[in-house]
Chain A
Amino acid sequence: MPQKPSYTGDEASGDEQIQYPIDLMCSVASKVLAETSLALDQYDAHWKQVQTYLHTLPGVLQGPFKDLLTQHEQRLRASYQWQIDFASALFSAIDAIEGTDEDVSQQFAQKNTGHGYPVF
Chain B
Amino acid sequence: MDPLDQAITDIIITPLSEFQHKTSILDTAHNSAVQQFSKTVGALFTPPAQFSGPAADAVSSLLSDYLQTETHLTGHGPSPLLTEANDNCQFVIKRLQYSIDTHTLWPSMSSHGTQAAMIGGGILDSTIDWAALETLLAEIAAGTLGLAAGGAIVLAGMAAMIEQRKMEELQDVVSVLIALTLAIPRISADAALPHTPSTVDYFAKTPKPIGQVPSDAELPHDPTLTPGQKADANELEREFGNTIDVSLIEYILGIIGKNVPRKIAQAMVRCLYLNGFLDAYITTDSGRSISTWGPFGHLQPSDLEGAWKDLRDVNSHADHLQEVDNALNGLKNRITYLNRMISEATMQGNADKVRIYTILRDAFQKTINTVYNLIDSPFSPTQWDSKGKLPTIEEILTNSTCANASPESYPPPKTGN
A and B bound? yes
> What is the interface of chain A, defined by CB distance below 8 A to chain B?
1-7, 11-12, 14, 16-21, 23-25, 27-28, 31-32, 35-36, 39, 42-43, 46-47, 49-50, 53, 56-61, 63-65, 67-69, 71-73, 75-76, 78-80, 82-83, 85-86, 89-90, 92-93, 96
Task: With both chains docked as a complex, state the minimum distance between the C-beta of A65 and any C-beta of chain B, in angstroms.
Answer: 6
Summed over the interface, the residue pairs from A and B with CB atoms below 8 Å come to a total of 203
Q: Are A59 and B209 in contact (CB under 8 A)?
A: no
B contacts, CB < 8 Å to A: 11-12, 15-16, 18, 22-23, 25-27, 29-30, 32-34, 36-38, 40-45, 49-57, 59-64, 66-68, 70, 73-74, 79, 81-82, 85, 134-135, 137-138, 141-142, 177, 180-181, 184-185, 187, 189-190, 193-194, 196-199, 202-203, 209-212
A-B contact pairs, 20 of them (CB 8 A): A1-B38, A1-B64, A1-B67, A16-B54, A20-B51, A20-B55, A21-B44, A24-B49, A43-B30, A50-B23, A50-B25, A53-B22, A56-B18, A59-B134, A75-B189, A76-B30, A76-B74, A78-B193, A79-B30, A96-B203
- B73 cross-chain contacts in A, Cβ below 8 A: 79
Chain B residues, Cβ within 8 Å of A24: 43-44, 49, 51
Contact, CB under 8 Å: A79 / B34: yes
Are A79 and B29 in touch, CB under 8 angstroms? no
Contact A5 B57 (CB under 8 A): yes
Taking A5-B57, A58-B177, A68-B185 as known contacts, 14 extra A-B pairs with beta carbons closer than 8 A to each other, sorted by chain A number, are A17-B52, A23-B49, A35-B33, A35-B37, A39-B36, A43-B29, A49-B22, A58-B11, A61-B180, A65-B184, A72-B26, A72-B79, A79-B70, A93-B199
B137/A60 in contact, CB under 8 A: yes
Q: A69–B189 Cα gap in the complex (Å)?
A: 11
With both chains docked as a complex, state the minimum distance between the C-beta of A119 and any C-beta of chain B, in angstroms. 25
How far apart are the CA atoms of A5 and B57 in the complex, in Å? 7
Q: Which of chain B's residues have a CB closer than 8 A to the CB of A64?
A: 180-181, 184-185
A2 touching B60, Cβ below 8 Å: yes
Do A43 and B134 contact each other (CB < 8 Å), given the known contacts A60-B177, A65-B184? no
Residues of B within 8 A of A79 (CB): 30, 33-34, 70, 73, 193
- Residues in B with CB closer than 8 Å to A69 are 23
Give which listed residue, B36, B53, B181, B197, contacts A5 with CB less than 8 A. Answer: B53
Are A5 and B50 closer than 8 Å at their CB atoms?
yes
CB of B197 within 8 A of CB of A85, answer yes
- Does A50 contact B22, Cβ atoms closer than 8 Å? yes
Contact of A18 among B23, B33, B52, B194 (CB under 8 A): B52
Using A2-B41, A60-B138, A92-B199 as known contacts, say yes or no to A72 and B209 having CB atoms under 8 A apart: no
Closest 10 CB pairs of A and B: A18-B53, A12-B211, A5-B52, A39-B33, A60-B138, A64-B184, A53-B22, A89-B197, A92-B199, A21-B49
Contact A60 B52 (CB under 8 A): no
In the complex, which of the residues A3, A5, A17 has the most CB atoms of chain B within 10 Å of its own CB atom?
A: A5
Is A12's CB under 8 angstroms from B209's CB? yes
Inter-chain contacts of B40 with A (CB < 8 A): 28, 31-32, 35
List residues of chain A with CB within 8 A of the CB of B27: 76
A50: which B residues are within 8 A, CB to CB?
22-23, 25-26
Q: With both chains docked as a complex, state the minimum distance between the C-beta of A66 and any C-beta of chain B, in angstroms.
A: 10
* Contact B52 A28, beta carbon cutoff 8 Å: no
| Candidate in A7, A24, A76 with the most chain B CB atoms within 10 angstroms | A76
- Give the residues in chain B near A43, CB-CB below 8 Å: 26, 29-30, 33
Nearest-neighbor residue (CB-CB) of A62 within chain B: B138
B328 to chain A, nearest CB (A): 20
Taken together as a complex, chains A and B put the C-alpha atoms of A14 and B184 apart, in Å, by: 54
Chain B CB count within 10 A is highest, among A17, A35, A68, for A68
Contact for B184 among A68, A80, A89, A90, CB less than 8 A: A68
A61 touches B181 (CB 8 A): yes
On whether the beta carbons of A58 and B81 are closer than 8 Å, the reply is: no
Chain A's closest residue to B43 (CB) is A28
Q: How far is the CB of A32 from chain B (nearest CB, A)?
A: 6
| One of B44, B56, B57, B184 near A28 (C-beta < 8 A) | B44
Flag if B81 contacts A72 (CB, 8 Å): yes
Q: If the complex has contacts A5-B56, A72-B190, are A53 and B18 also in contact, measured as CB distance less than 8 A?
A: yes
B188–chain A nearest beta-carbon distance, Å:
11
